């Protein structure tokens, strides 16, 4: 085990990015097909093909998941994945063609780099060319290139987010892994210590101070301020946590949906506040194997993997666009 989502058989990950524009995308390829589910929370989602994953709908397997920056523009990157898979003869066989099934989710990063350059089909295709089963790079790469956290007091007080991954061996040959792009409105919390490790920094302007005496303001405390409550609309739809959990346990679509729901608990443990109207938190679940496992156990450890991936993403992030990383601050 290498503490990566690529510990799950059948999973490949590839990043592509534009460092000047500070945006990028990350593809999770499952070329043999994987049973999939999704859980979306928060009020500002941007997604593609998520209705298809509802248990009552017909197509049960997907061939990739795309996570992208660029806000809604970034959904175009999934078209590059479709082209890549079609060229390899991979997709849902409809008789006259094989149609690749590529759900996607995006995050908002237009406010950190060049808003006129976003992930497109070509960048999505390049991410596929880079995909392999080695542990993927973490931090400010791919979909995490322009990710930021702790934006309750505005971008000037934010900290750099990023992409993180983690995996857990549940036992009896069953594994679960997560890959998360962390772009949250709230603070990132170490669940074991209950300590903020990245988030909105205390704001000082003349005699006005918002936040604690410490480096991080504590977004829950700040939310009690009427001044900040008035600022909330400025952060609207500029945040989200998007990601994928994968397992070699055999799951139905309904079970994969349940695991995705339980995996969201990892977001809640590691981000505070989470699932707000100003976030679009979306977690996909992929089942690639045939191992027998209790769905409750898989879901419980999926949440653990998600929380750890979130921590890894911000810890590995680097300064971008004038936004400091936690390594710059501590």
177: its two tokens: 């892994």
pLDDT, tens only, 207-255: 556 666 678 888 888 887 755 555 555 555 578 899 999 999 999 999 9
Residue 166 dihedral angles phi and psi, to the nearest 5°: -165, 160
Q: Do the bridges between strand 163-171 and strand 174-183 make them parallel or antiparallel, or are there none, so unpaired?
A: antiparallel
Q: What is the pTM of this model?
A: 0.95
DSSP string computed for 250-290: ---HHHHHHHHHHHHHHHHHHEES-S-TT---EEEEEEEEE
Q: Report all structural domains of the chain as residue ranges with CATH numbers, in order of start.
A: 5-329 (3.60.70.12)
* DSSP single-letter state for residue 238: S
| Per-residue pLDDT at 3 | 96
The two counts, helices (H) then strands (E), for the chain are 7, 18
The conformational region for residue 95 under phi > 0 = left, psi -120 to 50 = alpha, else beta, is: left
| Per-residue pLDDT at 230 | 57
* Top-confidence residue, 308 or 203: 308
**Cα separation of 164 and 139, whole Å?**
6
**Where residue 53 falls among pLDDT bands split at 50, 70, 90?**
very high
| Per-residue pLDDT at 221 | 81
| Per-residue pLDDT at 143 | 98
pLDDT, tens only, 256-303: 999 999 999 999 999 998 888 878 899 999 999 999 999 999 999 999
> Picking from 105-114, 134-143, 273-282, which range would have the lowest pLDDT averaged per residue?
273-282
């Amino acid at each position: 085990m290498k503490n990566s989502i690529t510990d799950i058989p059948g999973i490949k990950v590839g990043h592509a990015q534009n460092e000047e524009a500070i945006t990028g995308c990350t593809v999770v390829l499952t070329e043999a097909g994987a049973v999939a589910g999704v859980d979306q929370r928060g009020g500002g989602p941007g997604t593609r093909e998520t209705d298809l994953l509802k248990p009552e709908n017909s197509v049960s397997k997907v061939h990739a998941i795309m996570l992208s920056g660029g806000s809604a523009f970034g959904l175009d990157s999934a078209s590059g994945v479709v082209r890549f898979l079609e060229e390899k003869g991979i997709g849902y066989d409809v008789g006259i063609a094989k149609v690749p099934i590529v759900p996607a989710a995006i995050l908002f990063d237009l406010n950190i780099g060049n808003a006129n350059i976003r992930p497109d089909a070509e960048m999505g295709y390049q991410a596929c060319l880079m995909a392999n089963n080695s542990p993927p790079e973490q931090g400010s790469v791919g979909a995490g290139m322009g990710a930021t956290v702790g934006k309750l007091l505005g971008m000037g007080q934010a900290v750099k987010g990023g992409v993180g991954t983690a995996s857990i061996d549940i036992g009896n040959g069953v594994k679960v892994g997560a890959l998360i792009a962390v772009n949250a409105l709230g603070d990132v919390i170490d669940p074991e210590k209950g300590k903020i490790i990245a988030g909105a920094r205390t704001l000082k302007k003349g005699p006005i101070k918002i936040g604690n005496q410490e480096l991080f303001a504590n977004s829950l405390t700040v939310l009690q301020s009427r001044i900040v409550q008035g600022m909330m609309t400025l952060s609207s739809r500029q945040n989200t946590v998007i990601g994928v959990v994968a397992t070699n346990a055999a799951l139905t679509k309904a079970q994969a949906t349940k695991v995705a729901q339980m995996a969201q608990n990892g977001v809640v443990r590691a981000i505070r506040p989470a699932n707000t109207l100003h976030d679009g938190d979306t977690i996909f679940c992929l089942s690639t194997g045939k191992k027998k496992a209790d769905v409750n156990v898989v879901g419980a450890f999926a949440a653990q993997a998600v929380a750890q991936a979130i921590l890894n993403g911000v810890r590995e992030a680097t300064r971008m666009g004038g936004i400091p990383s936690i390594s710059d601050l501590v």
